[in-house]
Amino acid sequence: MLMLSPRLLSVLPLLLWSSPAFADAASSAAAEALFNQARELKEQGNYAEACPKLAESQRLDPGTGTLLNLADCYEKANQLASAWATWIDAARSARAAGQTEREEYAKNKAAELEPALGHISLQVDESAPEGLQIKKDGEIVARAIWGTPLPADARSYRIEASAPGYESFVVEVTVEDGQTTNVIIPALTASAPPPLEDRPAPAPAPGSALRTTGWVVAGTGVAGLAAGSILGILAMSKNGASKEHCDPSDPNLCQQPGIDLRNEALGFGDAATVAFIAGGVLTVGGLVIVLAAPKKTEQVTFTPTLGGGFLTYRGSF
**Contact call for residues 34 and 57 (beta carbons, < 8 A):** yes
- Residue with more model confidence, 6 or 197: 197
Query: What's the pLDDT tens digit per position in 26-41?
Result: 888 999 999 999 999 9
**Contact criterion met (CB below 8 Å) for 80 and 119:** no
SS3 159: strand
What is the rounded distance in angstroms from the CA atom of residue 60 to the CA atom of residue 70? 14
pLDDT at residue 260, rounded to an integer: 72
Query: How many Å apart are CA 15 and CA 27, to the nearest integer?
Result: 21
Residue type, 15: L
CB atoms within 10 A of CB 227: 17
> Helix (H, G, I), strand (E, B), or coil: what is residue 23?
coil
Q: CA separation (Å) from 144 to 122, 123, 217, 295?
A: 11, 12, 72, 60
* pLDDT greater at residue 252 or residue 107: 107
Provide the percentage of residues in the chain whose pLDDT is more than 70.
71
- Band the pLDDT of 159: cuts 50, 70, 90: very high
pLDDT computed for residue 303 by the predictor = 43
| C-alpha triplet 167, 172, 175: angle, nearest 5° | 140
Query: What are the DSSP calls for 187-249, one per residue?
Result: PPPBPPPPPPP--PPPPPPHHHHHHHHHHHHHHHHHHHHHHHHHHHHHHHHHHHHHGGGEETT
122 close to 147: Cβ distance less than 8 angstroms: yes
Average pLDDT rounded to a whole number, residues 257-262: 69
Residue 6: CB partners within 8 Å, gap ≥ 6? none
**What pTM, to 2 d.p., does this model score?**
0.55
Residue 253 contacts residue 247 (beta carbons within 8 Å): yes
87-96, 161-170, 190-199, range with the lowest pLDDT: 190-199
Q: Tell me the C-alpha distance between 105 and 15, whole Å.
A: 11
Q: How far apart are CA 250 and CA 252, in angstroms?
A: 5
What's the average model confidence in pLDDT over 67-81?
A: 96
- Lowest mean pLDDT, pick from 72-86, 114-128, 255-269: 255-269
Report yes or no: 135 and 160 within 8 Å, Cβ to Cβ. yes
Is residue 83 a contact partner of residue 48, using CB atoms and an 8 Å limit?
A: no
- Widest pairwise Cα distance in the chain: 161
Which domains, ranges and CATH numbers included, belong to the chain? Answer: 6-115 (1.25.40.10), 118-185 (2.60.40.1120), 213-290 (no CATH)
Model pLDDT, residue 216:
79
What pLDDT band is residue 21 in, cutting at 50, 70 and 90?
Answer: very low
Higher per-residue pLDDT: 109 or 300: 109
> Tell me, what's the pLDDT at 295?
67
Mean of all residue pLDDT scores within the chain: 80
Instruction: Decide: 94 and 64 in contact? Cβ < 8 Å.
Output: yes
Mean pLDDT of 176-198: 86
- Confirm if 22 and 28 have CB atoms less than 8 A apart: yes
Calculate mean pLDDT across residues 224-251. Answer: 72
pLDDT at 7 over 70: no
Answer yes or no: are the C-beta atoms of 129 and 123 closer than 8 Å.
Answer: no
First to last CA, the chain: 88
